[in-house]
Amino acid sequence: ETGVTQSPTHLIKTRGQQVTLRCSSQSGHNTVSWYQQALGQGPQFIFQYYREEENGRGNFPPRFSGLQFPNYSSELNVNALELDDSALYLCASSRTQRDTQYFGPGTRLTVL
């Protein structure tokens, strides 16, 4: 059984640019959640997708957006990047919206 995968592993962007991060959910999972983890902190919930619809959102501005595809993989898009967006972005998948979440290895985003 393949676990949660994320791409790319690392990414460097400049302020004002746009970025897309990708996540493939674990087999049999229809829900994907995204988290932002700043250095030295616990992850913060960005949003969750369930069956291709956004199903809850944390305290993040609209320039953070996402998609979920029919195969339940997902994208996180961030527009107008700011320096504070530099963080580890974690994707987690679960069997349903309220089931245990299993995490991918993360994407390290650096904004210069």
Partner 1 sequence: AQTVTQSQPEMSVQEAETVTLSCTYDTSESDYYLFWYKQPPSRQMILVIRQEAYKQQNATENRFSVNFQKAAKSFSLKISDSQLGDAAMYFCAYPNTGTASKLTFGTGTRLQVTL
Which residues make up the interface to partner 1 (CB under 8 A)?
Answer: 31, 33, 35, 41-45, 47-48, 50, 55-58, 88, 90, 92, 94, 97-106, 108
Nearer to partner 1, 17 or 99 (CB): 99
Nearer to partner 1, 22 or 108 (CB): 108
DSSP string across 27-94:
TT--EEEEEEE-TTS--EEEEEEETTEEEEE-S--TTEEEEE-TTS-EEEEE-S--GGG-EEEEEEEE
Nearer to partner 1, 64 or 106 (CB): 106
Report in angstroms how near the CB of residue 96 gets to partner 1 at its nearest.
Answer: 8
Measured distance CA(32)–CA(11) in Å, rounded: 21
Report in angstroms how near the CB of residue 30 gets to partner 1 at its nearest.
Answer: 13
How many CA within 13 A on the CB side of residue 53? 3
Cβ atoms of 10 and 106 closer than 8 Å: no
Report in angstroms how near the CB of residue 16 gets to partner 1 at its nearest.
Answer: 26
Nearer to partner 1, 15 or 53 (CB): 53
Report in angstroms how near the CB of residue 56 gets to partner 1 at its nearest.
Answer: 2
According to DSSP, residue 12 is labeled E
